[in-house]
Structure 1
Amino acid sequence: MFTDIRNEVRSTVEGGEKYSVIAKQTSISPTTLSQFINGSYAGDNQRVADKLAVWLADRRTAGSLRAAPSFVKTPTSKKIFSALDYAKISGVFVVIYGNSGVGKTNAITEYAKKPNTWLITARPSSSRLLECLSDIAYALELDYAPKRVGALSSHICRKLRGTQGLLIVDEADHLPYDVLEEIRLIQEMTGVGVVLCGNHQIYSKLSGGGTRKTDFARLFSRIAKKLAILNVTADDIDAIADAWGIDGERERKLVHELGRRAGALRIIKTTLSLAAILANSSNSAISEVHISAAIRDLEGV
């Protein structure tokens, strides 16, 4: 009765999918999924089959859509990569800051795939010292990390020392002085490169921001390189349009207009993703009509 679904699920696994991923995405327990596929599940097989049928249908639909480029190497991302290389090779402190939606996070996330490169994202909930150090320990895959600040910092230093690695902290503007100071000391004690990435507040904070200048002087003086990314460039937008296969003059003009908005690259990606869905429904390439319709839909017009 459920042979077709079982066979299709097996085919996706043979194609590289993992049963553990299927279980997570369908909210079916791994044990139940295994028993269903083997024909030995004693529970409600129809319920499991229904969940798998929906998952398979969604997978087929996603496979027929134009996929958003996972990463586009733009002139701006090359500048960011260069700054990251410098921090890692030289073992120094670098700050990358600027406006939202200009590609900072995408670039550092792509770079973090390199060996001995660890990325954490500071959040309001993890801005205190213990929580931030715990995030670093998790990124370093430290087993049995202690829950005391001093011991945890020492474990992190032992793990980092001699690696010639790079620690990247995104959204670093969330971090208070004491956390930034601890990261500075970790960098000096281990010789790894450290990159703090965020909005203009991180640079303002490190430079003292008009207050506590004496306290922040030690931090600010350690910054070997500062890279400000204020806006996306026309060349950035052209690179993204190329990656999406958008060649028409009118279509590219619309994409460039999106690039002049706040949060430019994020808006471009969101808009083109929807335009691709609309284009797929008519079995055609992304056109001016699809991009314009996506813009209206996203803006609620």
Structure 2
Amino acid sequence: MEVVAESIDVVSRVRGLIEAGEASQSRVAKEAGVSTSALSQVLAGSYAADPARIVERLSAWMAAREERAAARLPQAPAFVPTPTAGRVVAALAYAQMAADVAVIYGAAGVGKTMAVQEYARTRPAVWVAVMTPGHAGVTAALEEVAAAVGVKDCPQSPARIHREIVARVRETGGLIVVDEAQHLSVAALDALRSIFDAAGVGLALVGNDLVYTRMTGGSRAAYLDRLFSRIGKRVSLRRAQDADIEAVAKAAGGEAWREVMEIGRQPGAIRAVVKVLRLARMMAQAAGEALAAAHVAAARRDLEGA
């Protein structure tokens, strides 16, 4: 059935975006919530059933796309080489070069993950496995590491997963980075230690204070002494430095106004600064004004629900 007359414009506009390279057909289908094959048939005018439902979703997708474009949502800054990021990168570089263990832990929102991602982007043979509460157990943690290093068709046995990971990374001069490592159980941390011993590559554990506490506190300390004793580099990040806040504020299009510095010294630190400045820039754009401290204060009140 042909697309009804009132829907021809929507289909034509979607087709034009795809032909112009502004969006791929698979991306449109995914974001609009329709199947790729159905979208292809509608665009070609060969859809056998009533296309009204698909056209309705495409229309909604177009409206949302235009709304985002009109809002001109400011982009968050890419990696900013702050002093804290420099400490993280230096620890990762040491762990990789020396085939040693580094533990990077401390406050949330100071840029640990961004620094890890930048290091992995700019260095060869660096694999990043991000843990969640669902990865606490040995098998789940090993499966995530296996996926990060490129092991296909991961076996179900923890021992076999261990062997596959070791075979994949041995003699690469590489580095396995485990982010959000505070979610791992003591047994899972010990499983990572075993991989480190067998593979001869660097290992970096990145997370909050629980990472270090779990390795040094109570009865667990004796159990993990074989991992703790292998740590060659420890980096404790208590809070964002003022120089970090200033650098991120500048990269986000703002300045180190008093309000910005106050935000950066609170929990969430750099992450909070980026979010507040992003909203402040939107407010300034909507008002046709240059970004100023007043916009930052207004954005902070809005985000805090004040």
Is TM > 0.5 for Structure 1 vs Structure 2? Answer: yes
1:253 aligns with 2:258: yes
2:143 maps to a residue whose letter is S
Structure 1 CA distance for aligned equivalents of residues 90 and 13 of structure 2: 45
CA deviations 1:248-284 (Å, max 9, x no partner) are xxx7222111111111112112212222222232233
Equivalent residue for 2:60, pick from 54, 73, 87: 54
8 Å CA contact 1:77–1:103 kept in 2: the answer is yes
CA deviations 1:69-112 (Å, max 9, x no partner) are 13322121121111111111221110000111111122213323
Distance change in 2, residues 1:295/1:212 (3 Å): closer
1:166 aligns with 2:175: yes
Structure 2 CA distance for aligned equivalents of residues 70 and 166 of structure 1: 23
1:106 maps to a residue whose letter is M
Distance change in 2, residues 1:162/1:40 (3 Å): same
**What corresponds to 1:107 in structure 2?**
115
The more displaced of 283-292 and 86-95 is 283-292
Distance change in 2, residues 1:15/1:276 (3 Å): farther
Structure 1 CA distance for aligned equivalents of residues 144 and 110 of structure 2: 25
Structure 1 CA distance for aligned equivalents of residues 118 and 16 of structure 2: 30
Structure 2 CA distance for aligned equivalents of residues 40 and 154 of structure 1: 51
CA deviations 1:153-179 (Å, max 9, x no partner) are 111111111222111111112212221
The more displaced of 20-29 and 113-122 is 113-122
Structure 2 CA distance for aligned equivalents of residues 88 and 130 of structure 1: 25
2:198 maps to a residue whose letter is M
Equivalent residue for 1:240, pick from 236, 248, 257: 248
The more displaced of 90-99 and 260-269 is 260-269
Distance change in 2, residues 1:228/1:277 (3 Å): same
**What corresponds to 1:271 in structure 2?**
276
Distance change in 2, residues 1:239/1:145 (3 Å): same
Structure 1 CA distance for aligned equivalents of residues 295 and 117 of structure 2: 30
Equivalent residue for 2:128, pick from 114, 119, 122: 119
8 Å CA contact 2:109–2:271 kept in 1: the answer is yes
Q: CA deviation at 1:50?
A: 2.9
**What corresponds to 1:33 in structure 2?**
39
1:288 aligns with 2:303: no
**What corresponds to 2:230 in structure 1?**
222
* Secondary structure, counterpart of 1:118 in structure 2: strand
CA deviations 1:112-133 (Å, max 9, x no partner) are 3343221112222111001111
Structure 2 CA distance for aligned equivalents of residues 43 and 73 of structure 1: 55
1:198 aligns with 2:240: no
Structure 1 CA distance for aligned equivalents of residues 203 and 87 of structure 2: 17
Structure 1 CA distance for aligned equivalents of residues 98 and 22 of structure 2: 39
8 Å CA contact 1:65–1:280 kept in 2: the answer is no
Q: CA deviation at 1:25?
A: 1.4
2:270 maps to a residue whose letter is L
Q: Across the two proteins, how many residue pairs are aligned to each other?
A: 297
8 Å CA contact 2:91–2:235 kept in 1: the answer is yes
**What corresponds to 2:28 in structure 1?**
22
1:117-196 correspondence to structure 2 within 5 Å: 117-196=126-205
Q: CA deviation at 1:54?
A: 2.8
**What corresponds to 2:302 in structure 1?**
297
Cα RMSD for the two superposed structures: 2.0
1:153 maps to a residue whose letter is H
8 Å CA contact 1:77–1:104 kept in 2: the answer is yes
Equivalent residue for 1:43, pick from 28, 38, 49: 49
The more displaced of 59-68 and 123-132 is 59-68
Q: CA deviation at 1:12?
A: 3.7
1:81 aligns with 2:86: no
CA deviations 1:23-67 (Å, max 9, x no partner) are 211111111111122222233433323322332333334342321
Distance change in 2, residues 1:68/1:149 (3 Å): same
Q: TM-score, normalised by structure 2?
A: 0.90
